[in-house]
Amino acid sequence: MTIQTSKSKTTLKLFGVVLGMFVFGFALVPLYDIYCQVTGANGKTGGAYVASEAFEVDEERQVTVQFLTNNNANMPWEFRPTVRSMQVKPGQMYDTTFFASNIARTTMTAQAIPSVAPFHAAEYFHKTECFCFEQQQLASGEVIDMPLRFIIDPHLPASVKTLTLSYTLFDITDIAATGAAE
């Protein structure tokens, strides 16, 4: 093999590595999502829960569930839980609502993003119905009560006495308009 061909071969291989690493950078995005879903890291909760087993209600146990709401920067809506905290029994289904009102002058679209603390409890917080599964579009001045239905998994580690579910409300009017949001 001459020097020339071995040079070209090495060069080509290295450009291959470069391309591979560029793709790898993008592959980190789905990998990260999978990682967070599996471990519940980041307090991320899953999508709509479909019961895979019938839970037995644990009558002995009381867990406090707190609700928090935040507005992301520049999000003018009024947004709050109708109840701030509930005493719940693992295995039983509960309903509550969140109140939102568009006090801006224009029609806006919003998306609520949930997060559960402590993180390792996130995977035991099942939502069978949640306003966070869809976008909310409100005309100026419109108000809405948004439903949440959840069950706490009885497998929730005994050390967890209090769960906090927090929602941050994002203004996604622009993203929704370009139709790119999921």
Residues 11-30 that bind other proteins (CB under 8 A): 11, 14-15, 17-19, 21-22, 24-26, 28-29
Q: How far is it, in rounded angstroms, from Cα 34 to Cα 100?
A: 31
- Closer by beta carbon to other proteins, 75 or else 86: 75
Is 83 a binder of other proteins (CB under 8 A)?
no
φ, ψ dihedrals at 142, nearest 5°? -75, 145
Out of 66, 71, 137, 168, the residue judged to bind other proteins by CB under 8 A: 168
- Closer by beta carbon to other proteins, 74 or else 87: 74
Q: How far is it, in rounded angstroms, from Cα 108 to Cα 177?
A: 10
Q: Which two tokens stand for residue 109?
A: 């679209």
Determine contact, residues 154/91, Cβ cutoff 8 Å.
yes
Site string for other proteins, 120-159 (x = CB under 8 A): x---------------------------------------
Site size toward other proteins (CB under 8 A) is: 40
DSSP string, 101-140: E--SSS-EEEEEEEEEESGGGGGGEEEEEEGGGS-EEE-T
Is 170 a binder of other proteins (CB under 8 A)?
yes
The residue to which tokens 């308009």 are assigned: 177
Residues 23-62 that bind other proteins (CB under 8 A): 24-26, 28-29, 32, 36, 39, 41-43
Q: Give the containing element (helix H, strand E) for 126.
A: strand 125-130
Taking the complex as a whole, the smallest distance from the CB of residue 51 to other proteins amounts, in Å, to: 25
Q: How far is it, in rounded angstroms, from Cα 19 to Cα 72?
A: 37
In which order are the strands placed within the sheet that holds 63-71?
85-88, 63-71, 162-171, 108-117, 136-138
- Closer by beta carbon to other proteins, 110 or else 151: 110
**Cα angle value 60/63/69 (rounded, 5°):** 160
Taking the complex as a whole, the smallest distance from the CB of residue 59 to other proteins amounts, in Å, to: 31
Interface ranges with other proteins (CB under 8 A): 3, 6-7, 10-11, 14-15, 17-19, 21-22, 24-26, 28-29, 32, 36, 39, 41-43, 72-73, 111, 113, 119-120, 168, 170-172, 174-175, 178-182
